[in-house]
Amino acid sequence: MKNRKYKSKRFLLPILSLVLISIVSIASISSYITIKIFKSHMEEQIEKTKISYTQDQKNKVHQEVDFVKETIDFQIADAENILKANLKDKINIAINVANSIYDTYKDINSKEEIKEKIAKTLSLIKFDDGLGYYFIYDSKTNVMLEHPLSELIGNDMTTFINNSGQNLIELFTSELEKNEIAYSKTYFAKPNDKEKEFPKITCVTKFEPLNLVFGIGEYLDIIEKQSKEYIINRFSKTKYYEKDKYIAILEVHDLKGGDDFATVLLNSNKPELIGNKTSDKDLDIKGNMYKKDYLTLIKEKGEGFTEYWYKKPSTNQPELKISYIYFQKDWNWIILSGFYYDDLEKQILSMKESISSYTNHTIKETLFWVGLLSLFAILVAIIVSLKIDKTIKEYTNAIVVYEDNKRKQEHLLIQQSKIAAMGEMILNIAHQWRQPLSTISTAATGTKLQKEMNCLSDEQLNTALTTINDSSQHLSKIIDDFGEFFNSSNNRMSEYNINDILDKTLEIIKAQFIDKNIELVKNIEEFKLLSIENELIQVLVNILNNAADALTLNKNERKLIFIEAYQKKNHSYINIKDNAGGIPENIIDRIFEPYFTTKHQAQGTGIGLYMSEEIVKNHLNGTLSAENDTYEYEGISYVGAKFIIKIN
């Protein structure tokens, strides 16, 4: 132990080296992290600014376009309200005319004749140079009875659909279910322009006596023209605080596009463009046909944001721009407003310069304080390392003493375990020799008595000698079996058949099991495992002997020990359980501690299970555990201890 004592200043140099390396490393890492954090902070702030700026600007241009849209909607709604009031008066005129004719002829003419008179009378009434007219259809058959477009008269209108996809009969029927006088916005050709459909407000009502529906409509384009002029005039006078902010309005002639697909109606920052035709083939500086993108967007969604390059009014230079575009389909107007990204780039550049300046200043400060603290830390480290060196010296010497004592203790436990194992072996040999020795003694004594009485025949002598020889051979086999257990060649890791190991184990202890009337119940699968045979047998003998001792103290008339062996998921399992009532819960966690035993001092040392666990864990690459198990066997419920050996 003297040579293993701590040598003075053994830890001083490593501690000083570790402190210096740590300080240099911390300084380097600290500087790196500081730079990284500031860069990350800068990128995060820039990203937030981009998102915030973009979203704010998007909200602004969206609101600007929405304001124009809402103004248009108000103008349309106001015009529609005036039209509806006029149409209601006119539809009431038609009802009054129909009632008068019906009351006059209901007792004279048939219903079909009255319908014809009403249709003929209303066909003579026209408004707005013939653009305002009555139409009549049968609500039962949906057949058109009167219309200025003569080709529709007599036709079943049930499946008639206009170019905007409206089924007019379904639309009128649906609205009349809700209101006595119903209004709908429809699209229909004019009597003087049958090639194109125009938006109109249609008013319908039922004439119940004859199952007729009267209708009249007004085209919106005349009032619409006045409303459009108001909107253009209203927003051309709007002044923006920022020069590059403006509203633009295009009137679309053809949604499919083309060289003259739209006309510029309003551009507050570039009035020279007003009245010009525009093409969907116009390119921005990146070669994108951005106006074609307009058309695709409004055809698919009706509104949304689009990105393109456009000359900025304040600089007359192309810049990246985002515009919000809305299609007002009643007027075929594209309304748009946008913002330029270069304003954002200026903000970001300013932020980068500010943050870079701050970062450089912070890094210099950090390096100064790290250097200063490093010098201080080195001085402290030298002082502390000397004290640590002294403390470690004392503890190291104490540990050396402790380790030596521990090794002695372990060696003592191993020796005690061997002695205990030998004692168990001797006891088992004595059990197994008892019957053969008794047989030899009986045969020898009987032969001697017969010889003295002169009644010993040659056959009886041969029988006695054969019995003595057989018993002697059995004793020799017992010695060989126990010698095999102590054979050092079986103390190496090798592959063994589980049945061979269990047979050898049971051969050692079977005599005492027979003496104690213990029944063995085996359930053994056929498999091989990698193990050290003698050490596994020693563990099995220890566990089986403990079970036998517990059963001896148990009051059960039937003493049972179950041995089960199987493989599962690349592990080998050997389970041993008894019906001795189990291990008390207050001590089950301590049974693998050294010198812990519940037996009398003369019967147990408390190292059997401890050494068994050590062997399984350190030599056999496995685990040994114990639990209490409640089970049923042959219709009877039992409780006992269950030991589980799991070998990897």
Q: What is the pLDDT of residue 206?
A: 95
The string of DSSP letters for 220-275 reads SHHHHHHHHHHHHHHHHT---SSTT---EEEEES-TT--TTSEEEEEETT-GGGTT
Residue 392: closest CA among 15, 11, 14: 11
Domains parsed from the chain with CATH numbers: 238-344 (3.30.450.20), 489-647 (3.30.565.10)
- State the average pLDDT over residues 44-55: 82
Residue of higher predicted confidence among 383 and 108: 108
DSSP annotation of 6 reads: P
Residue type, 345: E
Q: Does pLDDT of 170 surpass 90?
A: yes
Q: What is the pLDDT of residue 219?
A: 82
Of 208-212, 242-246, 568-572, least confident by mean pLDDT is 242-246
Residue 560: closest CA among 498, 624, 466, 631: 631
Say if residues 134 and 122 touch (Cβ distance below 8 Å): yes
Q: Does pLDDT of 410 surpass 90?
A: no
Q: What is the pLDDT of residue 427?
A: 60
State both tokens at 426. 């001797």
Summarize pLDDT for 503-561 with one digit per residue, the tens.
888 887 887 788 888 999 999 999 999 888 888 888 898 899 889 888 988 777 789 99
Summarize pLDDT for 468-511 with one digit per residue, the tens.
776 566 566 556 555 555 555 556 788 889 999 998 888 878 87
Residue 235: closest CA among 271, 272, 263: 271
Report the distance separating Cα 71 and Cα 249, nearest Å.
14
Report the distance separating Cα 23 and Cα 472, nearest Å.
81
Residue 574: closest CA among 608, 611, 531, 610: 531
Helix and strand numbers (H, E) in the chain are 10, 19
State both tokens at 471. 């018993």
Q: What is the pLDDT of residue 15?
A: 61
**Strand 518-524 versus strand 493-497 pairing type:** unpaired
